[in-house]
Amino acid sequence: MPSAPKLQPHVLAAIKRNALLASPFFAHLQARELDELIAHSSERRAARGTLIFAKGDPGHFMLAVLSGLIRVGATSADGREVTLNVIGPGEIVGEIALLDGRPRSADAVAAEETTMMVIERRFFVPFLIRHEGLVERMLAVLCDRLRRTSAALEELALLDLPGRLARLLVKLAGDYGRAVDGGIRIDIRLSQRDLSNLVAATRESVNKQLRIWKDAGILDMAEGHVVIHDLPALYRLLGE
């Protein structure tokens, strides 16, 4: 199979700039500030299933996802996996360890073929100090992560499996959904194992619930992607 054509430097720079601008963290940077950040970055590609960094690794770089998807999670001593977050284009990962210099708090694995921009701590921390507004936005991003973690814990305590799975699919439809004939296609590939990890349930129970919703005409699976045909039905499960 022939390799993908190499992008021209100006095209690659534009892709990186657009990816940064898609992140609420970098959205308000001026063009010269974005170019400064990009000039001190490097590019990395990872095939699906590749371990990008492991819990306990030194936190000397941050990643901005240009394309693809990263699963952030942890594995227990008995081999059980817990998915903490999924990071898509325009989102960043690894910023906590980057800031405090401590080891990684979780594993990061490419959930599909992924291209990333790598920003190293030795450059980014001085850059952050020079841009006070960026510090404020990073605090907002970190606070948002904390709020989402709190909301996830609340959902585990208060929602049953259909409610947790409906909440996840509604969020994924909002973040990665694309209108298609007959519904909304979630444009990221998440296996039933990924979905079960994200809602803290077994793969078998998630598979059963997806079949129930498929039989009811609420959703379907197409080439590994979820297609939601009746989004209001999922909202009704949440009382919204």
214, 187: one domain: yes
DSSP state of 187: -
152, 166: one domain: no
pTM over 0.75: no
- Say yes or no to pLDDT of 185 above 50: yes
Closest CA to 169 of 200, 203, 198: 198
85, 146: one domain: yes
CA atoms within a 13 Å half-sphere pointing along the CA-CB vector of 215: 6
Domain hosting 97: range is: 9-157
**3 domain residue, yes or no:** no
Residue 71: its H or E element: strand 70-75
The enclosing domain of 192 has a CATH number of: 1.10.10.10
pLDDT level of residue 109 (50, 70, 90 thresholds): very high
47, 149: one domain: yes
125, 15: one domain: yes
The sign of the CA dihedral 165, 171, 176, 180 is positive
Both tokens assigned to 181 = 């004939």
pLDDT of the residue at 3: 44
Cα separation, 165 vs 182, in Å, equals 21
